[in-house]
């Protein structure tokens, strides 16, 4: 198990994984129920291993179609970047702590939007937020977009 630096691209792909179920509450529940394991896999496994592990969770629930849909959606354009880009661009340089607080608040707002728009299970949304807040490259991402 090789530990890798988690890039912005990986964050975006991971977020896309969570929203790939859209109105499919079943996949959201599966992800939500395994959020601690998924968070660990996000941190500890490379992208291909992560994809296989997450797909195996879904396949174990006897729904290969959802597993395929997730795998395909891992490659799609991130909705997170589209939503966050204009907001992050407004952050002033050298205000990282304040930026993290604001980022957290925006994630909470995004949490409500996701629950309503995609009908995701609340545990899946919480897993997204937990991932972003605990991720070591959050500060790097903010620094890159506030310079």
pLDDT tens digits in sequence order for the chain, 147 residues long: 343 344 445 444 555 555 554 434 444 455 555 555 555 554 554 556 555 655 555 555 444 444 444 444 433 334 444 554 555 455 455 555 455 555 555 655 565 555 555 544 555 555 555 555 555 555 455 445 443
Question: According to the model, what pLDDT value does residue 38 have?
Answer: 53
Other Cβ atoms within 10 Å of 100 Cβ, number: 15
Based on C-alpha coordinates, what's the Rg of the chain?
Answer: 15
Locate the domains of the chain by residue range: 8-146
Can you tell me the distance from the alpha carbon of 106 to that of 11, in angstroms, rounded to the nearest whole number?
Answer: 16
Instruction: Let me know: does 18 contact 76? Beta carbons within 8 Å.
Output: no
- What's the pTM? 0.25
Can you tell me the distance from the alpha carbon of 39 to that of 50, in angstroms, rounded to the nearest whole number?
Answer: 10
Three-class SS state of 31: helix
Paired tokens of 87: 């907001």
Question: According to the model, what pLDDT value does residue 26 have?
Answer: 46
Paired tokens of 88: 């992050």
3-state helix, strand, coil split of the chain in percent (to 5) is 75, 0, 25
């Amino acid at each position: 198990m090789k530990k890798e630096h988690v890039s912005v691209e990986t964050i975006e792909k991971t977020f896309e994984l969570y929203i790939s179920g859209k109105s499919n509450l079943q996949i959201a529940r599966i992800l939500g129920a395994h959020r601690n394991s998924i968070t660990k896999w996000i941190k500890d496994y490379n992208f291909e291993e992560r994809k296989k592990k997450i797909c195996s969770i879904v396949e174990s629930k006897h729904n290969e179609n959802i597993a395929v849909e997730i795998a395909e959606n891992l490659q799609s354009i991130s909705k997170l970047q589209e939503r966050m880009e204009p907001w992050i661009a407004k952050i002033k340089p050298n205000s990282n702590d304040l930026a993290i607080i604001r980022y957290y608040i925006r994630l909470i707002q995004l949490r409500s939007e996701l629950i309503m728009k995609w009908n995701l299970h609340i545990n899946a949304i919480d897993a997204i937020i937990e991932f972003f807040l605990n991720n070591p490259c959050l500060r790097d991402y903010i620094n890159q977009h506030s310079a």
